[in-house]
Structure 1
Amino acid sequence: MKDHFVLQNVKMINGSSVDIIVENRKIVDIVTAGTGNGQNLVDYNHKVYVSSGWIDMHVHAFAEFEPYGDDVDEIGYKTGVTTIIDAGSTGADNLSKLVNSCKNSKTNVFAFLNISRIGLERIDELSNLNWLDEEQLIKTVAEHKDFIVGLKARISKSVVGSNGVKPLKIARKFSKETDLPLMVHIGSGPPNINDVLDLLENKDIITHYLNGKSNNLFDESGRPLPKLLDAINRGVHLDVGHGNASFSFKTAMHAKEYGIKFDTISTDIYRKNRLNGPVYNMANVLTKFLYLGYSLEEIINAVTVNAAKWLKKPELGRISIGDLANLTLFTVEDEQTSLIDSEGDEKTAEQKIVVKGVVINGEHIEC
């Protein structure tokens, strides 16, 4: 790694160009384009955007688990994402293994702790309430308080079995005991989505909010459910969590029509949907929202400013002198590209977002 380098003639999201000078892993200056001095100049010729490093709020990064697992850097910096949040791959039984598996990775990693101690060792992890061990969960949170950002509860039929909404009620108790918010996966019912919404509070996250399943957040005509509007007013956070089965263009169009906007855009990426789609990478998911008509600023804020704010780590969402350098470099190219949602619905976009590189904890890497 070079101790000093200059990213020259990079475009900010507002279209202005600057030079960003990095030394000893930190941003030491941001100057007028073309005026940065140093031995190691990387000239992007006003063609490449720079943002603070992208943050993916929902990934599965515990490589040992199938199908929901992958290698940290394969879904991290190599795809332009400098910080990933593992979304409950591991519970108290295996969280320490996840922590250890990340130690040699370049990508920054945090995690939601699965409320089931077995995590995604099996995919019906909330079907047996004996796996919801409060004492073990609290102990794990205390041991890894700098790594764990919240608790994860997957509340859909295939996960909870006959338990309905009971695991979410237990999760609510765990949340109060640990003072950690919940990320709640929604999907097929039972339980009914309205019963899930009733239990969500300020700072909790609904992930998969644009899924196309019959138990989703919009009625048959596409209008948002009244209890969804109530939840938003309480401060519940909406996260995309694309995944194999949880993003629908049709639902996303309804949401946009009625002003139900994402707070964060995340991939729910793991090995299968990285290699075979429909996710592939963060840039592909962001391109879908460009196609839907959101501005570049709204889209990039969702994976920078908004995510960093939720994490209470504002430094991850800004480009500021004195901060550790975590940046994403990308272009918006005028090129037709095919986009597929989780329902198999295919759209053709006229533009696409392409990652060109990252600065990860002060190290510049071209992608």
Structure 2
Amino acid sequence: MKEKIVLQQAKLIDGRPIDIVVENGIIAELAEAGTRSGGLEIDGSGLYVSSGWIDMHVHAFPEFDPYGDEIDEIGVKQGVTTIVDAGSCGADRFADLAASAEKARTNLFAFLNISRIGLQRVDELSRLEWIDADKVLETLRAHGGRIVGLKARISRSVVRDNGIEPLRKARELSNRTGLPLMVHIGSAPPAVRDVINLLQERDIVTHYLNGKPNNLFDSEGRPLPELLRAIRRGVHLDVGHGTASFSFKVAEAAKRSGIAPDTISTDIYRSNRLNGPVYSMSNVLSKFLLLGYSLEETVAAVTSRAASWLGKPELGRIQVGDKANLTLFEVKRGKLTLVDSEGERRETDRYIEAKGAITNGEFIEC
């Protein structure tokens, strides 16, 4: 039997104080603050509690370098209770990722890389024969409960001389399997206009705020017409900060145009966790507070909106009878320097800091 956990005197995102009782890993009671005790008591005074943070773009397969890290280092130890690996593994190694997930305290879902070699190499779509439809289908049969979509990295360094063709093949696989695509955008060719035109409802464009020349906003900071049409089609906008894919200036242009992220994700792996500019989910969320998004908008982008895309609304709410899936964090006052992927530094006096997570019947302190 899992230990009873009582979170005391925390506050919801709207500021309402609350006690939350967790029994056998399930939310048993939502009570008036200061009225519940027993079991493992966690003092939430001065802290916010939200449903567990969801990071829609991470790299959690440590054997691949440079894009890899340990699941719990980028998950629960950062207050992130659910991570979605963004195509680290293709069919060749997906079983190994799934086996690692079984041992972790963090919940893990994944996009399957359409290249069977995954990120074993960083030009995984430079040879079209690595896109093996039969192996994709075989992997889906074996691990379908963990796979939420297909991943294609469509930038020059990945596709080499293949241009848009890997994305066309990804589209065919998506249509055949019914799984949406997550598409990485970066340097041309292919042109980002051609990439975005192939995306459909529920597909995700990640790195949408990157500052590379081949981005989704023109030289005046206006969104490309192709981006506006994609939004109307229901294409999902994901941040995917990463080492090279988030620009304060582009993010400001997007905000001026009313193009907010559907989900905020880190694209975190060992190097950019330890050396920046990502560091943590808290750090990335703090950048959106600095940009002028409200705390409610910012947290929704890593809770309810991410859970909705995953088709798992229970991950994005706090409700009696659901599995306890909670993140504790503080909004701190003090000076902090935030850095984007272009090396631009901004000072903030208000930032988010994760303090702990409750998931799978356990409290993990950050």
Task: State the Cα deviation string for residues 112-160 of structure 1 (Å, max 9, x = none).
Answer: 0000000000000001001000111111111111010000000000000
- How far did residue 43 of structure 1 move? 2.3
The one-letter amino acid of 1:4's match is: K
The one-letter amino acid of 2:277's match is: P
Q: 3-state DSSP class of the match of 1:180?
A: coil
- How far did residue 38 of structure 1 move? 2.3
Find the counterpart in structure 2 of residue 185 from structure 1. Answer: 184
Task: State the Cα deviation string for residues 240-280 of structure 1 (Å, max 9, x = none).
Answer: 00000000000000000000110000000000000000000
- How far did residue 2 of structure 1 move? 5.7
RMSD: 0.9
Q: 3-state DSSP class of the match of 2:136?
A: helix
Find the counterpart in structure 2 of residue 356 from structure 1. Answer: 355
Q: 3-state DSSP class of the match of 1:297?
A: helix
The one-letter amino acid of 1:66's match is: D
CA distance, structure 2, for counterparts of residue 264 and residue 350 of structure 1: 24
- How far did residue 362 of structure 1 move? 1.9
Find the counterpart in structure 2 of residue 27 from structure 1. Answer: 27
- How far did residue 337 of structure 1 move? 0.2
Task: State the Cα deviation string for residues 176-216 of structure 1 (Å, max 9, x = none).
Answer: 11110000000000001110011000000000000000000
CA distance, structure 1, for counterparts of residue 337 and residue 232 of structure 2: 36
Q: 3-state DSSP class of the match of 1:103?
A: helix
Find the counterpart in structure 2 of residue 101 from structure 1. Answer: 100
Find the counterpart in structure 1 of residue 149 from structure 2. Answer: 150
CA distance, structure 2, for counterparts of residue 2 and residue 216 of structure 1: 48
- How far did residue 31 of structure 1 move? 0.7
Q: 3-state DSSP class of the match of 1:334?
A: strand
The one-letter amino acid of 1:20's match is: I
Total equivalences in the alignment: 366
- How far did residue 101 of structure 1 move? 1.6
- How far did residue 364 of structure 1 move? 1.3
* Contact 2:27–2:319, Cα closer than 8 Å, also in 1: yes
Find the counterpart in structure 1 of residue 283 from structure 2. Answer: 284
- How far did residue 175 of structure 1 move? 0.2
Find the counterpart in structure 2 of residue 260 from structure 1. Answer: 259
What's the TM-score, normalizing by structure 2? 0.99
Q: Which runs of 5+ in 2 are unaligned?
A: none
Q: 3-state DSSP class of the match of 1:336?
A: strand
CA distance, structure 2, for counterparts of residue 162 and residue 108 of structure 1: 37
Task: State the Cα deviation string for residues 163-184 of structure 1 (Å, max 9, x = none).
Answer: 1100000000000111100000
Indicate yes or no: 2:132 matched with 1:118. no
- How far did residue 40 of structure 1 move? 3.3
* Contact 2:67–2:119, Cα closer than 8 Å, also in 1: yes
CA distance, structure 1, for counterparts of residue 14 and residue 137 of structure 2: 44
Task: State the Cα deviation string for residues 36-72 of structure 1 (Å, max 9, x = none).
Answer: 1324322222x10000000000000001000000000
The one-letter amino acid of 2:188's match is: G
- How far did residue 35 of structure 1 move? 1.1
Q: 3-state DSSP class of the match of 1:274?
A: helix
- How far did residue 310 of structure 1 move? 0.3
Indicate yes or no: 2:14 matched with 1:14. yes
- How far did residue 5 of structure 1 move? 2.0
Q: 3-state DSSP class of the match of 2:99?
A: helix
Find the counterpart in structure 2 of residue 3 from structure 1. Answer: 3
Task: State the Cα deviation string for residues 259-313 of structure 1 (Å, max 9, x = none).
Answer: 0110000000000000000000000000000000000000000000000000000
Q: 3-state DSSP class of the match of 1:168?
A: helix
Q: Which moved more, 1:242-251 or 1:100-109?
A: 100-109
CA distance, structure 1, for counterparts of residue 47 and residue 13 of structure 2: 10
Q: 3-state DSSP class of the match of 1:143?
A: helix
Q: 3-state DSSP class of the match of 2:282?
A: helix
CA distance, structure 2, for counterparts of residue 2 and residue 96 of structure 1: 29
Q: Which runs of 5+ in 1 are unaligned?
A: none
Find the counterpart in structure 2 of residue 313 from structure 1. Answer: 312
CA distance, structure 2, for counterparts of residue 2 and residue 202 of structure 1: 41
Identical columns (%): 62
- How far did residue 90 of structure 1 move? 0.3
Q: 3-state DSSP class of the match of 2:245?
A: coil
CA distance, structure 1, for counterparts of residue 364 and residue 123 of structure 2: 39
* Contact 2:356–2:365, Cα closer than 8 Å, also in 1: yes
CA distance, structure 2, for counterparts of residue 44 and residue 110 of structure 1: 29
CA distance, structure 2, for counterparts of residue 5 and residue 143 of structure 1: 35
Runs of 4+ in 1 over 6 A off after TM superposition: none
Matches within 5 A, 1:214-363: 214-363=213-362
What's the TM-score, normalizing by structure 1? 0.99
- How far did residue 102 of structure 1 move? 1.6
